[in-house]
Amino acid sequence: MPCGFHINKEEGLVTITGNQLVPLYEAVSMGKALMADQNFEPTLPNLVDLRGLEISRSRDETLAFRRFILESYMPLINTSIAIVIDDSLDKSSLAGLYHLSCRMERTELFDHYEQALKWLMRREFQTGGNIQ
C-alpha cells in the first residue's frame, strides 16, 4: 500500500506512511479516512514517514492537498507532527513540503527517523502532550 496510517492508542501515536508513487488525491483520501476513524484522537502525536515516497500531482491536486492540510486537518490537530523525508522526493515536492510544514504549527521535518521519534517523545510523551 503506497500510503496509510496506524493508530496506536496504547503507545499514544499515529503513524502515517507514504512510499512508492502516491498521487496527492490518494493522500487526501487517506487523510480523510484517518480523521473518520473511530480510534482517531486529535491529541495523539503524528509520525509521518515519507521515506521512499514519490509524489504524482497536478496543480489542482496540489491546491486540494494544501487546502485539506491547512483547512481541515491542522485546525483539528492539537499535537506535534514529525515528518521524515529522504532524497526520494523531487526538489519541487521537497520545497512544497517544506513551505507547507512552515505553515503548520508544531511541525518539524527530519531526515532521520530516530531523530523524529526522539523529538516527538521529548515534546509529547515526557511532558504529557499538548505543548503550546
Q: Alpha carbon of 17 to those of 52, 53, 58, 127, 132: distances in Å?
A: 10, 9, 21, 25, 26
82 domain-assigned: yes
Supply the CATH number for residue 113's domain: 3.30.750.24
pLDDT digits (tens, 9 = 90+) for 63-80: 999 999 999 999 999 999
Is this structure's pTM higher than 0.85? yes
pLDDT digits (tens, 9 = 90+) for 14-27: 999 999 999 999 99
Q: Alpha carbon of 27 to those of 33, 79, 104: distances in Å?
A: 10, 20, 17
User: Residue 119's domain spans which residues?
Assistant: 3-125
Provide the number of structural domains found in the chain.
Answer: 1
48 domain-assigned: yes
